[in-house]
Structure 1
């Protein structure tokens, strides 16, 4: 993903300012609470030990191609990173960083097309996708292109609003719902006819709620209207006073289902009337690689592409050994067209 030159210029200026604020926090001129309110918007937090920090790399759908894997491996080597962790939102977190490593890493990642912007704090977070979307047997269709479009859009407008809390968006390919699309702030589930089911205002955690079904057959080209509508809906009706109640699932407690639907569709219909958010150019990735033979293993899954396979790897506790990105990169040099996904 590459953002516009105008967006990047603004982001670079923000990173420069954040670098100074991180220094002020390190020198105890900025409180932990005030710093957290700033750093979250950059996908970074101070750890329990104030001397160590975390940076979260947004990877839409957890996709880690060869180029990004090489960038990660080089980052680990150059900054002597001691701990990598994969998050439940399909991102990679760099832990135990010194304060003066934070901004340079964020800057380098942005120039490489990986953004930490809105990776934390009160923002639309990393867009999640069924890990095997595009290759899984029995799926409705590959939802990755739509997730990519939503990720690019939410990043492009994240400067324009202040939400009560975070917003998590997930896309399910219709087979694998390990991303819990029905229990997210916004969840799209692929239908065999090429449309989506849409659930909103769900969430796991305290007072968990299944999302409210909004649409049975949502036209994919209208997805961005519904996403922006969800942002505006949350900004209008979300709880700005009590952070413990400032997630979309609590709107199910303050609004009756019919009222919730009425207000949400009022906002979405207004956006549709204005226009400008239609998705027309969305292309599914074509996999034309040829394989041969069969494999039988609990960790090897046959793909929908004949004689191609996916291999599962489960690091204990989601902690990825720091030498693994380099080892994987060396392994992939012998395997053209292979991609890593974080589940």
Structure 2
């Protein structure tokens, strides 16, 4: 029997505006947007020089401290000895110290011995000798006082370095192939495009207020050596059968709590149009990106909503001088993407790639590395997205003595697969978002794995991340640890990790496999890795990679 009702269907709610400038207007929908519109981030630099460096930390107003200082490449670090159980439970103002992290840009990873020496000296004098190579080809220092920033800027600028736009809602450092222009397996040298973007586009006002950070990678190397799958925009070298060498353009990649892989827009981009297309993509993000909610204010969410077909159409119709030619699908590179070891250059010389464990170094080491390079006449050094250091233009007869000297500085010319593939974020030591200690734990982990297992004959990537934000690329590692606070059998809150297994970029990119409810105490990380890697060694098929074994392994062999 049908029962009559007087209820009328509820009208659909009008969706809240996303803060897209071209659709919703420019009225700020949150405090971050209001602050950015009231006074641009770069305005704070002169106040640092004129006021804060003279009057000290207490003179800095909150809206300069965060977010504007990020535009200057600095933000507060975590107070020491505050446990991870406090993260997210107390305001940042209670977690932050009166010292800063300082991020120094190396666009394209290009460095000189003189630059490394200056950074090393700054580290020793002003940063308690801290220094870390990052997976974005930068160097980060800690323990920086606001009183010292004017002199630090002067020293950096004297050797062509900058901290500007190291953080903030702006285009961050441009990742580039560390062997651009020298590698034998290069498709096309992207250096001119990176230089044009850095010199002609980065400092324009129209890219200085984006919804959130914007990450770029440009490489013409056949190794696809810039992690293009997880960038906001990336340009990957390709050989088009009709148009010759150029680039495939990918958009909408990113990890964190909502990981998404970048997608090709299906266009062929010639070298001379890369800066124009880059600026067009940035401008789409500026005009159509979601600004209301910070956790949705990344380009990947817009790409997911629009799809790449609409994205390309808007790009060509509204932002480019003319349409792009259709491209061909990019074939993923099948081997290691890093540049560890000795490799022949196009000109017959060699480049040598070495590994600092998890990118960690000191001011003294940076100065020593610079001295070694200068003693062998090396003028070009490169940082990489895999936290390596490369030394270019090496004569064949000095490869061995150079490697020996670099080894003496604490670098590894022939690292084990464990040391080669390990990566970590800053972690609880300095980061206000972290739940766990990562960097020192990663260093200990590698030492213990080498002692217990020795080495592997296949690559293995192990990453330790202190929080869900995936700065260490947890979801695309063979074994990825995501930091969180656990409760032990005694009811105590302790450091621990959720585990991702079998993640990968390249062929069949994937975010890996999680075991339901499986957590690992921080104190048991080494035991866990030894157990899983031993199972892999015992069960693998000939030539099988770790990630392929993970996909077919039983849960108990991964626990």
TM-score, with length taken from structure 2: 0.51
Distance (Å, rounded) in 2 between the aligned partners of 1:212 and 1:231: 16
Counterpart in the other structure of 1:61:
108
Counterpart in the other structure of 2:538:
none
Structural mapping, 1:120-159, within 5 Å: 120-158=167-205
Summarize the Cα distance change of 1:64–1:45 in structure 2 as closer, same or farther, 3 Å threshold: same
Structure 1 residue 316 corresponds to structure 2 residue 357: yes
Equivalent residue in structure 1 for 2:373, among 328, 332, 339: 332
- Of 316-325 and 15-24, deviating more is 15-24
Counterpart in the other structure of 1:260:
311
Counterpart in the other structure of 2:45:
15
Distance (Å, rounded) in 2 between the aligned partners of 1:43 and 1:69: 18
Structure 1 residue 184 corresponds to structure 2 residue 238: no
Counterpart in the other structure of 1:27:
58
Distance (Å, rounded) in 2 between the aligned partners of 1:159 and 1:75: 32
Distance (Å, rounded) in 1 between the aligned partners of 2:52 and 2:281: 32
Distance (Å, rounded) in 1 between the aligned partners of 2:106 and 2:186: 22
Equivalent residue in structure 2 for 1:239, among 269, 281, 290: 290
Structure 1 residue 94 corresponds to structure 2 residue 135: no
CA displacement 1:146-189 (0-9 Å, x = unmatched): 21221223322156641100111101223222321233111011
Contact preservation (8 Å) 2:110, 2:381: yes
Contact preservation (8 Å) 2:124, 2:130: no
Distance (Å, rounded) in 2 between the aligned partners of 1:48 and 1:25: 18
Looking at secondary structure, tell me which structure has more strand per residue: 2
Distance (Å, rounded) in 2 between the aligned partners of 1:218 and 1:341: 26
- Residue 206 of structure 1 and its aligned partner are, at CA, apart by 2.6
- Of 228-237 and 253-262, deviating more is 253-262
Summarize the Cα distance change of 1:69–1:302 in structure 2 as closer, same or farther, 3 Å threshold: same
Distance (Å, rounded) in 2 between the aligned partners of 1:299 and 1:166: 30
Distance (Å, rounded) in 2 between the aligned partners of 1:218 and 1:125: 22
Counterpart in the other structure of 2:155:
108
Summarize the Cα distance change of 1:265–1:12 in structure 2 as closer, same or farther, 3 Å threshold: closer
Contact preservation (8 Å) 2:342, 2:350: yes
- Residue 251 of structure 1 and its aligned partner are, at CA, apart by 0.8
Counterpart in the other structure of 1:6:
none
Contact preservation (8 Å) 1:118, 1:158: no
CA displacement 1:133-158 (0-9 Å, x = unmatched): 22323220222232122122332215
- Specify every segment of 5 or more residues in structure 1 that has no aligned partner in the other structure, as ranges: 1-9, 274-297
- Residue 221 of structure 1 and its aligned partner are, at CA, apart by 1.3
- Residue 95 of structure 1 and its aligned partner are, at CA, apart by 1.0
- Specify every segment of 5 or more residues in structure 2 that has no aligned partner in the other structure, as ranges: 1-39, 80-96, 323-338, 385-559
Equivalent residue in structure 2 for 1:221, among 251, 255, 272: 272
CA displacement 1:274-296 (0-9 Å, x = unmatched): xxxxxxxxxxxxxxxxxxxxxxx
Summarize the Cα distance change of 1:172–1:89 in structure 2 as closer, same or farther, 3 Å threshold: same
- Residue 15 of structure 1 and its aligned partner are, at CA, apart by 2.4
Distance (Å, rounded) in 1 between the aligned partners of 2:202 and 2:53: 23
Distance (Å, rounded) in 2 between the aligned partners of 1:194 and 1:68: 33
Counterpart in the other structure of 1:71:
118
Q: Secondary structure at the match of 1:208?
A: coil
- Of 171-180 and 241-250, deviating more is 171-180
Structure 1 residue 47 corresponds to structure 2 residue 98: no
CA displacement 1:26-63 (0-9 Å, x = unmatched): 216523x6512011000111101312211111111111
- Of 260-269 and 72-81, deviating more is 72-81
* Larger relative contact order (Cα-Cα within 8 Å, sequence gap ≥ 6): 1
Q: Secondary structure at the match of 1:323?
A: helix
Contact preservation (8 Å) 1:128, 1:179: yes
Counterpart in the other structure of 1:288:
none
- Of 90-99 and 19-28, deviating more is 19-28
- Residue 219 of structure 1 and its aligned partner are, at CA, apart by 1.8
Distance (Å, rounded) in 2 between the aligned partners of 1:108 and 1:12: 19
Summarize the Cα distance change of 1:136–1:188 in structure 2 as closer, same or farther, 3 Å threshold: same
